[in-house]
Structure 1
Protein backbone atom coordinates (compact mmCIF):
# COMPACT_ATOMS: atom_id res chain seq x y z
CA UNK A 1 0.00 0.00 0.00
CA UNK A 2 1.25 3.50 -0.79
CA UNK A 3 2.04 5.77 2.10
CA UNK A 4 0.99 9.32 1.31
CA UNK A 5 2.47 12.26 3.16
CA UNK A 6 0.59 15.44 3.95
CA UNK A 7 2.75 17.11 1.28
CA UNK A 8 1.53 14.55 -1.30
CA UNK A 9 -2.07 15.24 -0.37
CA UNK A 10 -1.58 19.02 -0.55
CA UNK A 11 0.05 18.60 -3.98
CA UNK A 12 -3.04 16.73 -5.23
CA UNK A 13 -5.28 19.44 -3.78
CA UNK A 14 -3.21 22.14 -5.46
CA UNK A 15 -3.41 20.25 -8.76
CA UNK A 16 -7.21 19.94 -8.49
CA UNK A 17 -7.50 23.63 -7.62
CA UNK A 18 -5.47 24.61 -10.69
CA UNK A 19 -7.51 22.30 -12.94
CA UNK A 20 -10.79 23.71 -11.57
CA UNK A 21 -9.58 27.23 -12.30
CA UNK A 22 -8.56 26.19 -15.82
CA UNK A 23 -12.05 24.74 -16.31
CA UNK A 24 -13.64 28.07 -15.37
CA UNK A 25 -14.64 27.23 -11.82
CA UNK A 26 -13.79 29.40 -8.84
CA UNK A 27 -11.65 27.27 -6.52
CA UNK A 28 -9.68 27.90 -3.35
CA UNK A 29 -7.30 25.41 -1.73
CA UNK A 30 -6.99 25.03 2.03
CA UNK A 31 -4.55 22.19 2.66
CA UNK A 32 -6.29 18.97 1.64
CA UNK A 33 -9.64 20.74 1.06
CA UNK A 34 -10.79 22.64 -1.99
CA UNK A 35 -13.78 24.99 -1.96
CA UNK A 36 -15.38 25.24 -5.38
CA UNK A 37 -18.04 27.75 -6.43
CA UNK A 38 -20.08 27.55 -9.59
CA UNK A 39 -20.26 30.39 -12.10
CA UNK A 40 -23.34 31.85 -10.40
CA UNK A 41 -21.88 31.53 -6.86
CA UNK A 42 -25.23 30.10 -5.74
CA UNK A 43 -23.85 26.59 -5.57
CA UNK A 44 -20.62 25.47 -3.98
CA UNK A 45 -18.95 22.29 -2.84
CA UNK A 46 -16.08 21.28 -0.60
CA UNK A 47 -13.89 18.45 -1.94
CA UNK A 48 -11.45 16.69 0.37
CA UNK A 49 -8.45 14.54 -0.55
CA UNK A 50 -8.06 11.80 2.08
CA UNK A 51 -7.69 8.07 2.59
CA UNK A 52 -10.80 5.92 2.23
CA UNK A 53 -11.69 2.95 4.47
CA UNK A 54 -9.38 0.66 2.46
CA UNK A 55 -6.42 3.03 2.73
CA UNK A 56 -6.63 4.36 -0.85
CA UNK A 57 -6.20 8.07 -1.42
CA UNK A 58 -9.50 9.37 -2.84
CA UNK A 59 -11.46 12.54 -3.41
CA UNK A 60 -14.48 12.88 -1.12
CA UNK A 61 -17.63 15.01 -1.25
CA UNK A 62 -18.31 17.32 1.68
CA UNK A 63 -20.67 14.72 3.19
CA UNK A 64 -17.80 12.20 3.39
CA UNK A 65 -18.63 9.90 0.46
CA UNK A 66 -15.80 9.04 -1.95
CA UNK A 67 -16.46 10.42 -5.43
CA UNK A 68 -17.35 7.86 -8.09
CA UNK A 69 -17.50 7.96 -11.88
CA UNK A 70 -20.42 9.81 -13.46
CA UNK A 71 -21.63 6.75 -15.38
CA UNK A 72 -21.09 4.31 -12.48
CA UNK A 73 -20.76 5.83 -9.02
CA UNK A 74 -19.77 2.44 -7.58
CA UNK A 75 -16.44 2.79 -9.43
CA UNK A 76 -14.50 5.24 -7.28
CA UNK A 77 -12.22 7.81 -8.87
CA UNK A 78 -8.52 7.64 -8.14
CA UNK A 79 -6.71 10.84 -7.19
CA UNK A 80 -5.31 10.96 -10.74
CA UNK A 81 -8.74 10.99 -12.45
CA UNK A 82 -8.80 14.80 -12.46
CA UNK A 83 -10.75 15.33 -15.69
CA UNK A 84 -13.53 12.96 -14.62
CA UNK A 85 -13.54 14.67 -11.23
CA UNK A 86 -13.92 18.10 -12.86
CA UNK A 87 -16.93 16.79 -14.81
CA UNK A 88 -18.50 15.43 -11.60
CA UNK A 89 -17.92 18.67 -9.69
CA UNK A 90 -19.34 20.71 -12.57
CA UNK A 91 -22.53 18.62 -12.48
CA UNK A 92 -22.94 19.64 -8.83
CA UNK A 93 -21.97 23.33 -8.86
CA UNK A 94 -23.10 24.34 -12.34
CA UNK A 95 -26.74 23.25 -12.23
CA UNK A 96 -28.85 25.99 -13.85
CA UNK A 97 -31.16 27.68 -11.38
CA UNK A 98 -34.89 27.46 -12.08
CA UNK A 99 -36.75 30.69 -12.47
CA UNK A 100 -39.69 31.10 -10.13
CA UNK A 101 -43.10 31.22 -11.73
CA UNK A 102 -42.23 28.81 -14.53
Structure 2
Protein backbone atom coordinates (compact mmCIF):
# COMPACT_ATOMS: atom_id res chain seq x y z
CA UNK A 1 0.00 0.00 0.00
CA UNK A 2 1.43 3.35 -1.03
CA UNK A 3 1.80 6.01 1.64
CA UNK A 4 -0.67 8.87 1.54
CA UNK A 5 0.65 12.30 0.66
CA UNK A 6 -0.31 15.55 2.35
CA UNK A 7 -2.13 16.44 -0.88
CA UNK A 8 -4.22 13.24 -0.69
CA UNK A 9 -5.20 13.98 2.90
CA UNK A 10 -5.98 17.62 2.12
CA UNK A 11 -8.22 16.54 -0.79
CA UNK A 12 -10.20 14.15 1.45
CA UNK A 13 -10.56 16.89 4.08
CA UNK A 14 -11.80 19.32 1.45
CA UNK A 15 -14.30 16.77 0.14
CA UNK A 16 -15.70 16.03 3.60
CA UNK A 17 -15.83 19.75 4.44
CA UNK A 18 -17.88 20.44 1.32
CA UNK A 19 -20.20 17.51 1.95
CA UNK A 20 -20.76 18.58 5.56
CA UNK A 21 -21.61 22.08 4.36
CA UNK A 22 -24.04 20.65 1.78
CA UNK A 23 -25.68 18.69 4.63
CA UNK A 24 -26.26 21.92 6.58
CA UNK A 25 -23.34 21.72 8.98
CA UNK A 26 -20.98 24.65 9.49
CA UNK A 27 -17.64 23.08 8.54
CA UNK A 28 -14.26 24.80 8.28
CA UNK A 29 -11.14 23.09 6.95
CA UNK A 30 -7.70 23.63 8.50
CA UNK A 31 -5.36 21.40 6.50
CA UNK A 32 -6.15 17.80 7.47
CA UNK A 33 -8.49 18.95 10.26
CA UNK A 34 -12.10 19.99 10.02
CA UNK A 35 -13.93 21.98 12.65
CA UNK A 36 -17.64 21.21 12.49
CA UNK A 37 -20.36 23.13 14.29
CA UNK A 38 -23.92 21.89 14.59
CA UNK A 39 -26.80 23.87 13.14
CA UNK A 40 -27.33 25.71 16.45
CA UNK A 41 -23.57 26.29 17.00
CA UNK A 42 -24.15 24.82 20.46
CA UNK A 43 -21.86 21.84 19.88
CA UNK A 44 -18.74 21.44 17.78
CA UNK A 45 -16.19 18.76 17.03
CA UNK A 46 -12.74 18.78 15.48
CA UNK A 47 -11.88 15.73 13.39
CA UNK A 48 -8.66 14.90 11.59
CA UNK A 49 -7.76 12.72 8.64
CA UNK A 50 -4.66 10.56 9.13
CA UNK A 51 -3.41 7.02 8.55
CA UNK A 52 -3.97 4.42 11.26
CA UNK A 53 -1.47 1.75 12.42
CA UNK A 54 -2.18 -0.36 9.30
CA UNK A 55 -1.70 2.70 7.05
CA UNK A 56 -5.43 2.92 6.25
CA UNK A 57 -6.52 6.51 5.97
CA UNK A 58 -9.19 7.19 8.63
CA UNK A 59 -11.07 10.03 10.23
CA UNK A 60 -10.39 10.46 13.93
CA UNK A 61 -12.35 12.27 16.63
CA UNK A 62 -10.60 15.06 18.52
CA UNK A 63 -9.82 12.59 21.35
CA UNK A 64 -7.88 10.35 18.90
CA UNK A 65 -10.35 7.51 18.34
CA UNK A 66 -11.09 6.48 14.74
CA UNK A 67 -14.68 7.16 13.69
CA UNK A 68 -16.81 4.03 13.53
CA UNK A 69 -20.15 3.14 11.97
CA UNK A 70 -23.19 4.65 13.68
CA UNK A 71 -24.72 1.31 14.70
CA UNK A 72 -21.47 -0.65 15.11
CA UNK A 73 -18.58 1.49 16.35
CA UNK A 74 -16.19 -1.45 16.07
CA UNK A 75 -16.61 -1.24 12.28
CA UNK A 76 -14.30 1.64 11.36
CA UNK A 77 -15.32 3.84 8.47
CA UNK A 78 -13.10 4.27 5.43
CA UNK A 79 -12.06 7.79 4.57
CA UNK A 80 -14.49 7.83 1.62
CA UNK A 81 -17.60 6.63 3.55
CA UNK A 82 -18.84 10.20 3.35
CA UNK A 83 -22.58 9.62 3.83
CA UNK A 84 -22.08 7.52 6.96
CA UNK A 85 -19.44 9.96 8.27
CA UNK A 86 -21.91 12.82 7.99
CA UNK A 87 -24.59 10.79 9.83
CA UNK A 88 -22.17 9.97 12.66
CA UNK A 89 -20.80 13.52 12.91
CA UNK A 90 -24.34 14.94 12.90
CA UNK A 91 -25.25 12.72 15.86
CA UNK A 92 -22.39 14.29 17.80
CA UNK A 93 -22.83 17.97 16.90
CA UNK A 94 -26.60 18.15 16.40
CA UNK A 95 -27.91 16.88 19.72
CA UNK A 96 -31.20 18.72 20.30
CA UNK A 97 -31.28 21.06 23.28
CA UNK A 98 -33.78 20.32 26.04
CA UNK A 99 -36.48 22.91 26.27
CA UNK A 100 -38.01 24.21 29.47
CA UNK A 101 -35.08 23.55 31.79
Asked if TM exceeds 0.5, the reply is: yes
**Paired residue secondary structure (1:11):** helix
- RMSD of equivalent CA atoms: 0.9
- For 2:97, the equivalent position in structure 1 comes to 97
Task: Name segments (4+ residues, structure 1) moved above 6 Å.
Answer: none
Gap runs ≥5 in structure 2:
none
- For 1:70, the equivalent position in structure 2 comes to 70
**Paired residue secondary structure (2:48):** strand
Q: Return the TM-score normalized by structure 2.
A: 0.96
Aligned length: 101
Deviation at 1:100? Answer: 4.7
**Using the alignment, how far apart are the partners of 1:68 and 1:11 within structure 2?**
21
Gap runs ≥5 in structure 1:
none
